[in-house]
Amino acid sequence: MSHSPDPEHRRRGHRNVPHTADVRLEAWAPHREDCLVEAVAGLVESFAEPPPEGSWTVTVDFPSGDDEATLVSVLDTVIHLMETRDGLPVRAGAESCDGGVRMRFHLADLRQVDITGAVPKAVTWHELRFRRHETGWSCAATIDV
Protein backbone atom coordinates (compact mmCIF):
# COMPACT_ATOMS: atom_id res chain seq x y z
CA MET A 1 0.00 0.00 0.00
CA SER A 2 1.43 3.34 -1.01
CA HIS A 3 0.78 6.59 0.81
CA SER A 4 0.77 9.95 -0.87
CA PRO A 5 3.08 12.52 0.72
CA ASP A 6 1.67 14.84 3.33
CA PRO A 7 0.54 18.04 1.52
CA GLU A 8 2.46 20.18 4.02
CA HIS A 9 5.63 18.18 3.36
CA ARG A 10 5.49 19.08 -0.32
CA ARG A 11 5.26 22.75 0.58
CA ARG A 12 8.56 22.75 2.42
CA GLY A 13 12.05 22.65 1.05
CA HIS A 14 15.29 24.47 0.41
CA ARG A 15 17.72 25.21 -2.35
CA ASN A 16 21.07 26.85 -2.92
CA VAL A 17 21.21 29.52 -5.60
CA PRO A 18 24.29 30.78 -7.44
CA HIS A 19 26.00 33.71 -5.74
CA THR A 20 29.37 35.30 -6.41
CA ALA A 21 32.03 33.87 -4.06
CA ASP A 22 29.47 33.02 -1.34
CA VAL A 23 26.59 30.59 -0.82
CA ARG A 24 23.01 31.82 -1.04
CA LEU A 25 20.35 29.60 0.43
CA GLU A 26 16.58 29.82 0.32
CA ALA A 27 14.10 27.82 2.40
CA TRP A 28 10.33 27.63 2.75
CA ALA A 29 7.76 25.81 4.88
CA PRO A 30 4.22 26.21 6.21
CA HIS A 31 5.50 27.07 9.72
CA ARG A 32 8.27 29.35 11.01
CA GLU A 33 10.04 26.55 12.88
CA ASP A 34 10.01 24.22 9.87
CA CYS A 35 11.47 26.99 7.72
CA LEU A 36 14.42 27.21 10.14
CA VAL A 37 14.88 23.43 9.91
CA GLU A 38 14.94 23.67 6.10
CA ALA A 39 17.48 26.52 6.28
CA VAL A 40 19.77 24.35 8.43
CA ALA A 41 19.46 21.49 5.92
CA GLY A 42 20.23 23.87 3.04
CA LEU A 43 23.32 25.19 4.81
CA VAL A 44 24.66 21.70 5.54
CA GLU A 45 23.94 20.41 2.02
CA SER A 46 25.79 23.39 0.53
CA PHE A 47 29.14 21.93 1.58
CA ALA A 48 28.77 18.42 3.06
CA GLU A 49 27.32 14.94 2.78
CA PRO A 50 26.89 13.84 6.39
CA PRO A 51 26.13 10.27 7.41
CA PRO A 52 22.45 9.38 7.83
CA GLU A 53 22.55 9.27 11.65
CA GLY A 54 23.96 11.56 14.28
CA SER A 55 25.86 10.50 17.38
CA TRP A 56 24.58 13.09 19.85
CA THR A 57 22.05 15.90 20.23
CA VAL A 58 22.46 19.52 21.23
CA THR A 59 19.43 21.63 22.17
CA VAL A 60 19.60 25.42 21.91
CA ASP A 61 16.88 27.93 22.83
CA PHE A 62 16.68 31.09 20.77
CA PRO A 63 14.73 33.89 22.51
CA SER A 64 11.74 35.62 20.97
CA GLY A 65 12.58 38.63 18.88
CA ASP A 66 13.26 39.59 15.31
CA ASP A 67 12.79 36.64 12.95
CA GLU A 68 15.77 37.60 10.80
CA ALA A 69 18.02 37.77 13.87
CA THR A 70 16.76 34.31 14.85
CA LEU A 71 17.62 32.96 11.39
CA VAL A 72 21.15 34.35 11.65
CA SER A 73 21.54 32.95 15.17
CA VAL A 74 20.38 29.47 14.12
CA LEU A 75 22.71 29.33 11.11
CA ASP A 76 25.61 30.79 13.11
CA THR A 77 25.00 28.07 15.70
CA VAL A 78 25.52 25.41 13.02
CA ILE A 79 28.90 26.99 12.19
CA HIS A 80 29.73 27.33 15.90
CA LEU A 81 28.94 23.65 16.55
CA MET A 82 31.36 22.67 13.80
CA GLU A 83 34.10 24.89 15.19
CA THR A 84 33.69 24.13 18.90
CA ARG A 85 32.19 20.62 19.09
CA ASP A 86 33.44 19.09 15.82
CA GLY A 87 29.82 18.25 15.00
CA LEU A 88 27.62 18.78 11.97
CA PRO A 89 23.82 18.54 12.04
CA VAL A 90 22.57 15.54 10.10
CA ARG A 91 19.05 16.48 11.16
CA ALA A 92 17.42 19.35 13.02
CA GLY A 93 14.10 19.80 14.74
CA ALA A 94 12.39 22.94 16.02
CA GLU A 95 9.49 23.89 18.23
CA SER A 96 8.08 27.12 19.53
CA CYS A 97 8.89 27.92 23.16
CA ASP A 98 7.84 31.09 25.00
CA GLY A 99 7.68 33.01 21.72
CA GLY A 100 11.16 31.88 20.77
CA VAL A 101 12.38 28.71 19.13
CA ARG A 102 13.98 25.59 20.59
CA MET A 103 16.24 23.85 18.09
CA ARG A 104 17.50 20.29 18.42
CA PHE A 105 20.57 19.54 16.35
CA HIS A 106 21.36 15.83 15.81
CA LEU A 107 25.11 15.90 15.20
CA ALA A 108 27.58 13.65 13.45
CA ASP A 109 31.30 13.71 14.15
CA LEU A 110 32.98 15.89 11.51
CA ARG A 111 35.49 13.09 10.89
CA GLN A 112 32.58 11.03 9.49
CA VAL A 113 31.39 13.78 7.14
CA ASP A 114 32.29 14.05 3.46
CA ILE A 115 33.09 17.72 2.81
CA THR A 116 32.03 18.51 -0.76
CA GLY A 117 32.33 22.30 -0.91
CA ALA A 118 33.59 25.44 0.77
CA VAL A 119 32.96 25.35 4.53
CA PRO A 120 30.89 28.30 5.80
CA LYS A 121 32.58 30.96 7.93
CA ALA A 122 29.70 33.28 8.82
CA VAL A 123 26.18 34.38 7.95
CA THR A 124 25.91 37.86 6.47
CA TRP A 125 23.10 40.35 6.98
CA HIS A 126 23.25 41.34 3.30
CA GLU A 127 19.91 40.57 1.58
CA LEU A 128 18.77 38.58 4.62
CA ARG A 129 15.06 37.73 4.63
CA PHE A 130 12.65 35.78 6.85
CA ARG A 131 8.95 36.43 6.25
CA ARG A 132 5.49 35.07 6.63
CA HIS A 133 3.35 34.74 3.49
CA GLU A 134 -0.17 33.56 2.74
CA THR A 135 1.07 29.99 2.28
CA GLY A 136 3.67 29.90 5.04
CA TRP A 137 7.17 31.15 5.67
CA SER A 138 10.25 31.74 3.53
CA CYS A 139 13.79 32.82 4.25
CA ALA A 140 17.01 33.55 2.42
CA ALA A 141 20.55 34.10 3.65
CA THR A 142 24.00 34.63 2.19
CA ILE A 143 26.79 32.62 3.75
CA ASP A 144 30.47 33.66 3.72
CA VAL A 145 32.68 30.76 2.71
State the fold for domain 41-144: Archease, Possible Chaperone; Chain: A; domain 1 (3.55.10)
The helix/strand/coil state of 68 is: helix
72-102 residue pLDDT tens: 999 999 999 999 999 999 999 999 998 899 9
Q: Write the pLDDT tens digit of every residue in 41-62.
A: 999 999 999 899 999 999 999 9
Q: What is the DSSP string of 12-58?
A: -EEEEE--TTEEEEEEEESSHHHHHHHHHHHHHHTTEE--SS-SEEE
Q: pTM of this prediction?
A: 0.91
Give the burial class of 78: count Cβ atoms within 10 A of its Cβ; 0-12 exposed, 13-18 middle, 19 or more buried: buried
